Amino acid sequence: MITILNDNFSQLNDFLHGNSFSKIFILVDENTHEYCLPVLLGNMETDLGFEILEIEAGEEMKNIQTANQLWEILTEMQADRKALVINLGGGVITDMGGFVASTYKRGIQFINIPTTLLSMCDASIGGKTGIDLMHFKNMVGTFTFPEQIFVYPKFLETLPFKELRSGFAEMLKHGLIADKNHWENLIRINKLDIESVIPHIQASMNIKQNVVDQDFHEKNIRKTLNFAHTIGHAIESLCLEQGNPVLHGEAVAAGTICEAYLSYLEGLLSEEDSQIIIENVQKYYPYLDISDFKDEDIFTLLLNDKKNVNSKINFSLLSGIGSCIFDHQCSQKNIAESLKFYRKLNNA
Ligand SMILES: NC(=O)c1ccc[n+]([C@@H]2O[C@H](COP(=O)([O-])OP(=O)(O)OC[C@H]3O[C@@H](n4cnc5c(N)ncnc54)[C@H](O)[C@@H]3O)[C@@H](O)[C@H]2O)c1
Ligand SMILES: O=C(O)C(=O)C[C@@H](O)[C@H](O)[C@H](O)COP(=O)(O)O
Ligand SMILES: [Zn+2]
């Protein structure tokens, strides 16, 4: 269940009072420790003891070493099966904390309090938890719903612009795959800032929740939420591997351009619609330099995408603005063509 918190966090306090947890563990990174934890602690009313678990910020931390450290700390602090983990942060914290909680002692309860636009609209919802493996994105994880999701949009007030823009890429994706009206509302935004995005958060959350409700384990329609991620994740992984990480939403934005063009090349989307999408994404996002990436390295990553079966790369592609198909196999020539198209935008 998703709840928009009021200023005194009363819904969170009701939840804590209404359950018999033994102890609370609040997972933060250094930024959410500084900017969000004081707000949470200033409003949280509970007699329970709590501990703060802090990790360094960034995708580089979303790995088995960090998970192991957190499992060890929970063990040392004798967290039992009635303990509650509160994930206070962006998608790295909710993915990582959800994974650690869903596996520790075969699963303890956790709630998500997202603090980035991306985690409010996407990562905190839907129960995909996980960590990266050898720079392959989210290779190890679980499908486990949080007990609750508490959203406090005012947390966005301290979020850097680049992070806001990163989250906006997933909102655009929601419009593109499911709701043309949402897409059109978003692209009307000229100046991207908290005031302009806040009115659209609820619509994005609804789209995500609605898809997940139909297909929690990603057997069918949930694959549409992965539009832009087949190529986007490959780009994100290569950047991470080279020690030059880009934000998830930045990679998704590049993936949106490549996969919108690929949708056109595959005869699924009109040239006009693909152009509209590409121009609008370019309006918000600078070109992401992938000129050093070899196609063969990108293909190696594509071959490990979680949607694949029998070594066939399964794409989720657009069949219109607001509609998406999945399990679509593209010609290798068209995939390479879409990457070439993206590279050329650098000089356009
Ligand atoms: N599980 C899912 O369904 C899902 C969906 C989308 C993305 N993801 C994952 O989410 C991750 C990206 O999430 P993200 O973009 O939130 O990144 P993030 O968690 O790294 O947060 C981005 C940055 O913002 C900082 N920050 C967070 N809240 C802040 C605040 N209120 N004020 C100031 N700084 C703040 C963080 O410390 C970090 O430096 C990726 O790992 C991606 O794979 C998961
Ligand atoms: O919730 C989903 O399903 C998504 O695909 C949402 C994506 O935005 C998100 O990045 C997700 O973590 C990707 O999942 P993965 O299974 O491709 O790792
Ligand atoms: Zn994503």
Same fold, 2-158 and 166-347: no
The atom number, within ligand 2, closest to the CA of 248 reads 10
Task: Give CA–CA dist 88/94, Å, rounded.
Answer: 7
Evaluate the CA torsion angle 135, 295, 316, 322 in order and state its sign: positive
174: annotated active-site residue: no
Structure-token pair, residue 235? 């780009």
Task: Find the 89 Cα to ligand 1 centroid distance in Å.
Answer: 7
Task: Find the 60 Cα to ligand 2 centroid distance in Å.
Answer: 18
Residue 320 φ/ψ region, left for φ over 0, alpha for ψ in the -120 to 50 degree band, beta for the rest: left
343: annotated active-site residue: no
What tens-digit pLDDT sequence spans the chain (348 residues)?
A: 999 999 999 999 999 999 999 999 999 999 999 999 999 999 999 999 999 999 999 999 999 999 999 999 999 999 999 999 999 999 999 999 999 999 999 999 999 999 999 999 999 999 999 999 998 999 999 999 999 999 999 999 999 999 999 999 999 999 999 999 999 999 999 999 999 999 999 999 999 999 999 999 999 999 999 999 999 999 999 999 999 999 999 999 999 999 999 999 999 999 999 999 999 999 999 999 999 999 999 999 999 999 999 999 999 999 999 999 999 999 999 999 999 999 999 876
Task: Give CA–CA dist 188/190, Å, rounded.
Answer: 6
pLDDT given for residue 348 in this prediction: 67
Is 2-158 CATH 3.40.50.1970? yes
pLDDT given for residue 135 in this prediction: 85
Residues 6+ apart with CB under 8 A from 315: 230, 259, 262, 307, 326, 328, 329, 330
Structure pTM?
A: 0.98
* Homologous superfamily (CATH) for 166-347: Dehydroquinate synthase-like - alpha domain (1.20.1090.10)
The atom number, within ligand 1, closest to the CA of 166 reads 15
Q: Is the CB of 305 under 6 A from ligand 2?
A: no
Q: Is the CB of 229 under 6 A from ligand 2?
A: yes
The ipTM value here is: 0.99
The atom number, within ligand 1, closest to the CA of 119 reads 16
Task: Find the 316 Cα to ligand 2 centroid distance in Å.
Answer: 12
pLDDT given for residue 92 in this prediction: 98
Residue nearest to atom 2 of ligand 2 (CA): 225
Question: Of 31, 163, 182, 218, which one is the catalytic site residue?
Answer: 218
Q: Is the CB of 233 under 6 A from ligand 1?
A: no
Task: Find the 16 Cα to ligand 3 centroid distance in Å.
Answer: 30
Domain edges within the chain: 2-158, 166-347
271: annotated active-site residue: no
Residue nearest to atom 22 of ligand 1 (CA): 90
Task: Give CA–CA dist 96/113, Å, rounded.
Answer: 13
For a ligand 1 pocket test, name from 128, 129, 216, 248 the mutation site with the most ligand atoms within 8 angstroms of its C-beta: 248
Task: Give CA–CA dist 291/339, Å, rounded.
Answer: 10
For a ligand 2 pocket test, name from 96, 99, 118, 128 the mutation site with the most ligand atoms within 8 angstroms of its C-beta: 128
The atom number, within ligand 2, closest to the CA of 137 reads 18
76: annotated active-site residue: no
Q: Is the CB of 36 under 6 A from ligand 1?
A: yes
